[in-house]
A and B are shown apart, each in its own frame.
Chain A
Amino acid sequence: MNKKMMRVILEIIRYTVIVFGAFWMVLPFFWLFSASLMTPQELMSDIPKWLPEKPQWNNYLQVLKRVPIFTYYKNSLVVAGSVTFLVLFTSSMAGYAFAKLRFCGRRILFNFVLSTMMFPVFIFLIPVYYLMKLFGWLNSYLALIVPFAVSGYGIFLMRQFVMTIPDELLDCARLDGAKEFKIYSVIILPLLKPALATLAILTFIGQWNSFLWPLIVTSTAQRFMTLPVGISRLSLAFSTAETQHLIITALVYQVVPMVIMFLYLQRYYVKGFVLSGFSNL
């Protein structure tokens, strides 16, 4: 009896914690949506409001008129899409080489790739900016895309996955006279599909949300700004009390599509970790 009581109490604690946490997770999103429908006066009122008196759906139209949201969307899509494509290409090639081909310095090069992951971005800001300036790429898509074309994490992930493909399969193809590039494109790539999907999603999310680098290289050209840069500038552009509601409504435009899209893809987020081999006991 005592033990049963204990169990019931533990279960109550468990669900209390889960629901309490979930409340805090949802609260900012709930507030964002609710506030996006408020008037500036409601937003700035001394007693914070949970819900608008009368939903101001007009806010959403007003923002579209005053902020080039669709340009930002387009830029973010072009940049995140191109980077993802390039990363998939370079990572799968390098991953295949590291996993299945033998050549001098393979170990050293692979360790080098792993160690690049430990270098923080802030080391590269000045020199890569300078390179972009030399190439004349500032304020263009190239500056946003090319410096991210190769990912150490991507190469590592692909290598881990290619290692699980049996050598016999490749040897058979080699005996049939297939060249390495054919093996890569006909055998490896199709087998890599699940791993590529994972890497694609991780890269895309990362690029879509990336802020510091786009902020630096597009500081003077609004037509190349990505969504995070464009939206972050609104706090300066709309700093007066009468325009606060526009910032919040613009945030909804930024947040909602991605959250809806990627919530369905959360399993890929986990897969990246599973593929990395850390989950094996």
Chain B
Amino acid sequence: MTNKKIFSRHRSFERNMGAGYLFLAPALIFYSLFFVYPVLFSFTVSTKRWNMLIPLSRARNVGFSEYAYLLKDEMFLGVFKNTLLYAIITVSFTIIIALVLAVLINNAKFSVLWRFIYFAPVVTPQVAIGTIWGYLYRPSNGLLNSILGLFGFKPVYWLTDPNIALFSIMATAVWAGTGGSMLIITAGLKNIPQDYYDAARIDGAGPFKQFLHITVPLLSPTLLFLTATGFIGAWQVFDLPFTMGRNAPAKSVMTVSWYVYETAFQSLRMGRASAGAFLLFCVIFAFTLFILWIFKRGGIKGYE
């Protein structure tokens, strides 16, 4: 009996073995063609001078000279700085504002209506958001400056002043991202047992203490999720800077995706674009791991 059981289990294991690969086949074929091959290909391209018009085999080999060039290129370093700044500021502001709003709205009257309103930008195409805000930010006939004018402020050159343009775009990104993060934080809030708050209140803790000592620590897995996905999204941002920053002075708002797009598909410098993409990817990858590590040290586990 026991023997038979072991035997049958062994058989079903054997059968599963092939089935496993069969079920994975579409994904594995896809990943080899659209993931592994492109990464290797990209690396090869980054050591060549290639414009995609001739076969790659005929392209001149330039070794790591594009990397060396980029590390000294002011334009590229500016792009790098913009992307870093953009990611850190938008992710942290979005999460902090979303956290405060989620807590405020959680038990408020009309909470469904508020969530509805705050969520609308999440489903609006970023290209449309960028264009709409582009109009609101117009210096002489935009709505924003006219509101500022009511309070006696001078008009601001939101998208054309090189010191302000990137921050204006970040403000739009935070505006667009808050609602989504807020909904997710709300889902996390609903998981915190009410007892904790009741106990804290009996001990005399006010709303601020409850927020700091119960809500924030118990939400940390949620905050990890939002931070990790937020950064992964922010590193590759393209739509908003590209639609809003067209009239900004060169390189004051350019981000990595935009740089790669411009260098590869407008100037046809495939090697330089690939090298730039690779360099930034390394930094991004290290940064993402670093964030996961910080959270892990704080005792937060990711998936599984």
Contacts and interface: CB of A to CB of B under 8 A. Distances in A.
B197 interface: no
A269 B183 contact: yes
Given A97-B23, A212-B239, A273-B187, A259 B120 contact: yes
Q: Provide the main secondary structure of the chain B interface.
A: helix
A22 B16 contact: no
Contacts of B261: 122, 125, 212, 215-216
A235 B131 contact: yes
Contacts, number: 282
Interface in A109-135: 109, 112-114, 116-131, 133
A279 to B, nearest CB: 5
Contact of B123 (A106, A205, A227): A205
A126 B131 contact: no
A158 B24 CA distance: 13
Nearest to A115: B285
Interface residues of B, number: 101
Interface string A23-42: 01111110110010000000
Nearest to A28: B132
A5 interface: no
A27 B101 CA distance: 18
Given A255-B124, A273-B184, A273-B225, A150 B303 contact: no
A97 B303 contact: no
Interface string B84-107: 000000000000000011001100
A269 B179 CA distance: 11
Contacts of B127: 209, 211, 228, 231-232
Contacts of A112: 31
A210 to B, nearest CB: 9
Interface stretch (B60-68, B158-166, B269-277): B269-277
In the complex, the 5 A-B pairs of residues with the closest C-beta atoms, listed nearest first = A103-B20, A127-B38, A97-B23, A262-B123, A101-B20
24 contacts: A14-B104, A18-B105, A46-B141, A93-B24, A96-B23, A101-B23, A109-B24, A120-B256, A122-B257, A122-B281, A126-B277, A127-B41, A129-B264, A180-B19, A184-B23, A212-B238, A228-B127, A251-B128, A258-B125, A269-B119, A270-B184, A277-B304, A279-B222, A280-B191
